[in-house]
Amino acid sequence: MDAIRKPTPTAPLRSPETVMRLARLGSFHQCRLSFMRILLRRMKRENWTFDRPVFDIDAKGVGVAVYSAHGPDRTYSLVAFAHDLPPEQRSDRVIAHAWDSTFTLFDGVPTSDDIERLSWNVPKQEAGRVTNCEISVSRANRSVRLFKHVVDSLAAGRQPDPEQIEAVGYLMRTTAVYGSGKLGAADREAIAGRPEFAAPFQPEMLSVFLTRAYTLDLVEHLARTRAPETAATIAPDLRHRFGVGNSTGLGLAPFIVNHPALFNNWIAAREEALARVRALPRASNEEAATFRTMLARARQNAEEWRSEHSLQIQKLIMLKADLSHLETHTTADLLEGEAPWDRLYRWAEANLSIEGQEQLVSLMLEPYGELVDDLAGSMSANEADSFRIDGAMSLARLKEIVEEVYDFALKIDWASPDPNARVWYVSEEKLEPRLGERYDEPIEPYEQPLQPGRDAVRMHADISAWEGENTVAAFLLRHPQHRHIARRAQITARLPYAEIRDNTISAALLPIDLLRVKLAFFGATHFDPRSDRWVRINMFQDAPFPHELSEGDADDWSYPPWRRRADDFFAE
């Protein structure tokens, strides 16, 4: 790395008060540090190879397939079970009990005995059990319209219609991808020491990457069994247009609140990356050109991004306007001269919507892989390190921390109904996290600790009234109800991006903001909210397939390739 590229100590990190607001987190976009991109860069660098040792699926689409990924030290295999699902049973909800396909990521290459054992468990998902030889468990449903269209077209010897592909973007969408010891699978701690799984969610992303290949193989197979003589295969360019969908409800939302140290490390890595780029004294012509290319492709992405949800439609209108504004602004010589990226970011703060600002942050990292990609190594967390409460801390210091971190909450009038309107709870059906109305439903006794703001205010009141010894230990012995929030406050004092600086139980809460930030870190695109608490996304769209990874660029797919000439945009 060039010496001049070293981060300067004065690089401005954005403050947690700015970054950790729900409206901003809910406007995050994928970036170089997204988990899908980290995975593909590593597999490319390490020359991973892929094969399909088993593909035993009948004409009705029932059977099993195995996709193996061979890394330098270990092999992982996606075991996919294909089912014939009656349409009335097809639901993306977690309360479903049958799916079009079910999967597990196996640690190694499964024997026929392993596959037999898994065939009795994986199709049942939550009702089955796996072992520490399995790393994730997942399932997917077809996009009925597109799946049928593609099979019908191929069987008739035709290519599928690109417009129909674009309207949906995937053949199947996953409705849950479980890792970290769920259903008896291997604990995160048992595999976290493997370099390929050091970054967050790498097994889950690998599973989805292989699932994408399976969905394309499946439609071609079904077309071929229907019309062995005449069936077509999908043209390579069209093939890339298929990602894997994902349909995510509230189940994902509590995760980022329940893992404050981990969440801090995701945000801190991206903020550090931004600060490094803003600290650069100048941009080379080549770097400026890369930025402009990516900006044009981000415009294409915004054009292709469909949503029927009024909030997202509004955000997309603003995003498109912002990107156009940004393009005009940066076609002049503004990327020349001193500290161009810092100037650009400051301009964006004053001139773009939050959605546009966060798109810019992601785009500014694109020319600087050498400078920022190493931050991927800092995105995991040993949560045990930050878990223990420091009981020796003075109570006065804890109070100061509360006043700094939870300042937003201390300004809220908690006696009025709106700030308290919601309750996070877990339903007894499949242990699904849900959000209810405090004043309309009998759910308050089941409240989960997912409202740090309100809880911090309650603790603050008791600290103010405390007359005992001035230590956190003494206070918590008599106020055990504050133990949870005291821990969070101490974690956030050390890890400033650990806590969301907004009310998570307000009547105005949009749970999709919590989903969006997590999915953006996964590397998802085309967020399409189906309600205020349910979102669909696309994963790995335009990415290389496993068999293509050895050729070409493994990290040049997160913005769509130009499907129209750039001139068309400038002419608009």
Residues that bind other proteins (CB under 8 A): 87, 90-95, 129, 131-132, 141, 143-145, 180-182, 184-190, 247, 249-250, 308, 387-392, 425-429, 431-432, 434-436, 441, 443, 446, 449, 472-473, 476-477, 480-487, 511, 530-534
Which residue, 426 or 507, is less far from other proteins as judged by CB? 426
Nearest CB to other proteins, comparing residues 120 and 570: 120
Contact by Cβ (8 Å): 141, 99:
yes
Instruction: Judge whether 283 and 371 are in contact, CB under 8 Å.
Output: no
What is the smallest separation between the CB atom of 487 and other proteins, expressed in angstroms? 6
Q: Closer to other proteins at the Cβ: 8 or 89?
A: 89
60 burial level (CB within 10 Å; 0-12, 13-18, 19+): exposed
Give least dist CB 524 to other proteins, A. 18
Shortest separation between residue 436's beta carbon and other proteins, angstroms: 5
- Alpha-carbon gap, residue 328 to 308, rounded angstroms: 29
Task: For residues 572 and 568, give the distance between their C-alpha atoms in angstroms, rounded to a whole number.
Answer: 6
Give the closest residue to 376 by CA, choosing from 136, 36, 10: 36
We find the least distance from the C-beta atom of residue 238 to other proteins, in angstroms, to be: 21
Question: Cβ(342)–Cβ(13) under 8 Å?
Answer: no
- Rounded-to-integer distance, Cα 490 and Cα 475, Å: 14
Complex with other proteins: residue 184 or 561, whichever CB lies closer:
184
At 194, phi and psi to the nearest 5?
-80, 130
End-to-end, the C-alpha distance of the chain in Å comes to 40
Nearer to other proteins, 364 or 463 (CB): 463
Q: How far is the CB of 32 from other proteins (least distance, A)?
A: 30
The tokens for 61 are 């689409």
Residue closer to other proteins by CB (options 221, 482) is 482
Closest to other proteins by CB, 319 or 486: 486
3-state DSSP call for residue 229? coil
* Least Å from the CB of residue 142 to other proteins: 10
SS (H, E, C) 457-480: HHHHHHHHHCCCCCEHHHHHHHCH
Question: Crossing angle, helix 354-365 and helix 310-331, to 10 degrees?
Answer: 50
Q: What's the token pair of residue 51?
A: 């094969």
- CB nearer to other proteins: pick between 92 and 204: 92
Q: Closest by alpha carbon to 261, among 349, 382, 370?
A: 382
Long-range contacts of 375-378 (CB under 8 A, 24+ apart): 375/33, 375/269, 375/270, 375/272, 375/273, 376/33, 376/38, 376/199, 376/269, 377/198, 377/199, 378/265, 378/268, 378/269, 378/272
Find the farthest-apart pair of alpha carbons in the chain and give their distance in angstroms, rounded: 86
Q: How far is the CB of 165 from other proteins (least distance, A)?
A: 15
Nearest CA to 76 out of 57, 53, 99, 55 is that of 53
Instruction: Kindly tell me which of 129 and 563 has the beta carbon lying closer to other proteins.
Output: 129
Residue with tokens 């156009």: 324
**CB 299 → other proteins: shortest distance, Å?**
27
Residue 56 vs 187, nearer CB to other proteins: 187
Task: Indicate the residue among 96 and 363 with the shorter CB distance to other proteins.
Answer: 96
- Least CB distance from residue 277 to other proteins, whole Å? 37
Question: Shortest gap between Cβ of 342 and other proteins (angstroms)?
Answer: 40
As measured in angstroms, the least distance from the Cβ of 501 to other proteins is 21
Which of 187, 336 has the CB closer to other proteins?
187
Nearer to other proteins, 357 or 492 (CB): 492
| 158 backbone dihedrals φ, ψ, rounded to 5° | -110, 160
Angle ∠(148,153,154) on CA atoms, nearest 5: 105
Q: What tokens appear for 211 in the block? A: 């699932």
Q: DSSP 3-state assignment of 248? A: strand
| Least CB distance to other proteins at residue 175 (A) | 9
> What's the closest the beta carbon of residue 539 comes to other proteins, in angstroms?
18
For 510-527, give the secondary structure using H, E and C. CHHHHHHHHHHHHCCEEE
